[in-house]
Amino acid sequence: MRFKSVVLKIALLFVSTFSFSQVEQTKTVNLMGSVFQITLVDSDSISADQNINKAISEIERIENLISEWRPQTQISQVNQNAGIKPIKVDKEVFELTKKAIWFSEISNGAFDISIVAMDKIWKFDGTMEKLPSRKVIKKSIRNVNYKNIVLDSINSTIFLSKKGMKIGFGSIGKGYAADKARELMLELGIKAGIINAAGDLATWGTQINGNPWRIGVNNPLETGETIKILEFSTNNAVTTSGNYEKYAEIENKRYSHIINPKTGYPSTELISVTIIGKNAEMCNGFSTSIMVLGLVKGLELIEKYPDYQYLIVNSKENIITKI
């Protein structure tokens, strides 16, 4: 896994109930290569099932636009034509790419969707016993540089100016899908629910009994424990990036699967970063960027955006929060 970190498995703390001629219904499905859980508060179970399927269709629509693994998608076409020609894309794809480049700019390259072109020299399956050489690491990022992504807003085209480049949206794609599914549900008149995109959550409204949605942020150092319970009763989003599920441990040092696209080395300073705001796509971008930037530079970045709160685990004795 490249740029979007493995997310904390944020637990949804609620019980399905029936009251006031409404139903709270949940469905779990595999989408975008991950597990999604969709919960809606709707008028009845038939309507809830139909609307959940509409949310699934919306997420599948997005995957068919931005997946770099499906050869027919617009992003795959962009990658296949790297160094050859610009590719015309839908406005939605163009704007998502534009937002990704914005994150690259504000994070000074800590966030970079072209990192998917990096050579696969790191292994996070427990088999890696020694670090790659500096020469190999330096070579691995030769095709990684967001500044070589050329956008033409007039013609709505994306051009990767260097052959061998690729872009991918593992870093913000699931959060974006959660946001779009929530947007669709609101348009359909669904007044409450949660789109849980593999731990990237977009919520709106309240539980069927009127209580806020309660979301537990897992403690990355203690399995099964939480370090914070969040309560949401309006449009909110939360995402987490962390190094505690996929990593390599070499000479008693943990190397996260979240790699610095400028250096080719994994992040090592932070254990997890949780971001809370209104927009899951934005939360995704910030959590990934901060994991790469580290504590000092990461805090400098997020403090510029007061609409977003954070919970950063730096060590067992050091949890930094602004919630």
Q: Is 73 annotated as a binding residue?
A: no
| Tens digit of each residue's pLDDT (9 = 90 or more) over 22-74 | 999 999 999 999 999 999 999 999 999 999 999 999 999 999 999 999 999 99
Q: Is 288 annotated as a binding residue?
A: yes
Q: What is the pLDDT of residue 5?
A: 38
Distance CA 78, CA 3 (A): 19
Average pLDDT over residues 94-115: 98
Domain that holds residue 108: 1-323
Least confident of 114-118, 239-243, 253-257, 293-297: 253-257
The mean predicted confidence, pLDDT, of the chain is 92
Element (H, E) at 299: helix 295-302
Location of structure tokens 């070579």: 139
Look at residue 7 and tell me whether its pLDDT is greater than 60.
no
- For residue 182, what are the CA distances in angstroms to 50, 133, 177, 197, 208? 15, 45, 9, 11, 17
CATH number of the domain that 294 lies in?
Answer: 3.10.520.10
Look at residue 18 and tell me whether its pLDDT is greater than 70.
no
Element (H, E) at 37: strand 34-42
Q: What is the pLDDT of residue 316?
A: 66
Question: Which region holds residue 164: left if phi is over 0, alpha if psi is between -120 and 50, else beta?
Answer: left
Distance CA 130, CA 277 (A): 39
| Tens digit of each residue's pLDDT (9 = 90 or more) over 126-152 | 899 899 999 999 999 999 999 999 999
Q: What are phi and psi of 89, to 5 degrees?
A: -130, 165
Average pLDDT over residues 154-173: 96
Distance CA 78, CA 76 (A): 5
| Tens digit of each residue's pLDDT (9 = 90 or more) over 177-190 | 999 999 999 999 99
The two counts, helices (H) then strands (E), for the chain are 7, 17
| Tens digit of each residue's pLDDT (9 = 90 or more) over 218-248 | 888 887 789 999 999 999 999 999 987 788 8
Domain total for the chain? Answer: 1
